Amino acid sequence: MSSDGRVVVAGVGMTNFGKFLDRGLKSLSVEAVSGALADAGLEPGDVQLAVVGNAVAGLITGQECIRGQVVLRESGIGGIPIFNVENACASASSAFHLAWQQVVTGQVDVALALGVEKLTHPDKRLSLTAFNAAIDVELLAQVKEALESSSRQASEKAADGSSGPGEGGGSRSLFMDVYSAAVRVHMDRYGTTQEQMAKVAVKSHKFGALNPRAQYRDEVTLEEVLASREVSYPLTLLMCSPIGDGAAAAVIVSDAYARARGLRGPRVAASVVRSGNLPGSEDESSETRAGLAAYEMSGIGPDELDVAEVHDATAPAEILAYEDLGLCPRGEGGKLVDQGETDLGGRIPVNTSGGLCSKGHPVGATGLAQIAEITWQLRGECGARQVEGARIGLTQNGGGFLGNDAAAQAVHILVG
């Protein structure tokens, strides 16, 4: 086997995202894997290596250690190298990155990346508590104390008062408080408004209504977003991603294999994974560092992107991503929303899938769902949400929390 450094996404597959109490990891995985193989025109026996991303199955279902081997066996895939990846919300994109590494270095010609998550459970508290594992558990009490202090200060400044941090097992995930604290800093520093955040949610739900695989398929108004229940100021319920289940997969092949088999698909121009900063570091965030590395690897700048899928676990996180990824200058993410630049017909449509807020966020599957959306966009297969002439797309998928940075961050650039 040899490699010329060119890797092709030959096929993608994805389940609907939603709350499926009657489905397990195996059922979801089989649907996504069979869809990806059929899309590529390949058989299970053609796969030479597989990497499976999952974040919290051990906490929700009790399945540990051999998750990938268990779920892929149901798809007729076994005997080959199978690796399990757990990297918080970036698990699926990390799985894609590792599969890409094996193909780009010539170790194999055909690799499968799968991301799957089962988050719903009859006991919702169990689902929400699972997110605590994406923070340094030895520092969890300190994190909660810091968030409590931040929220208390915000309450004193807000006329209507803001809710305090969640317990990561109560009515919301602790990560909603992590996001709200970061967003309040941005509001104070740059004047970003709650209305601009609500506009992101309106856009996301508009796209979600056009995506048959999205968990939420109803459009919402600006007034409805602002009036929905407060989660953690300035976040309201319709600005937050939901709990859900789902799976997504991609088959990636060497360019030589693609030519030999007559396969087509977008090329992986960049695949980058970075981790959070060390304590006391003054470096840029992991998101910015991953984005810069992806631009350098691909030779493509942010001004050349046609479409992007970013990690909007909350609507304002999308605004922060605009800035971290260089889609606009620091502090001007809100203006990008006001100007409609990230909507369909704008300069750089973002989260045409509906994003995490509307498409859903089964955490271990999200990164590959982003890859699937960009692949469909570059193939011109997205129907009413299609970005006209899309040729270059980016995905950004972050996970976990360490200090003031994401613990894991992945950025990919695909070229059609």
Active site residues per annotation: 89, 361
Task: Give the H/E segment covering residue 14.
Answer: strand 7-14
Q: Which two tokens stand for residue 315?
A: 């609507």
Minimal CA–CA distance to 93: which of 306, 304, 317, 294?
A: 294
| CB atoms inside a 10 Å sphere around CB 66 | 12
Let me know the angle formed at the C-alpha of 78 by 77 and 82, rounded to the nearest 5 degrees.
100
In which region does residue 305 sit, left (phi positive, over 0), alpha (psi from -120 to 50) or beta (all else)? beta
CA distance 44 to 63: 23
SS3 assignment, position 193: coil
SS3 assignment, position 344: coil
CA distance 77 to 70: 10
In the chain, % helix, strand, coil (3-state, to 5) comes to 45, 20, 40
| CB atoms inside a 10 Å sphere around CB 108 | 21
Beta carbons of 373 and 352 less than 8 angstroms apart = yes
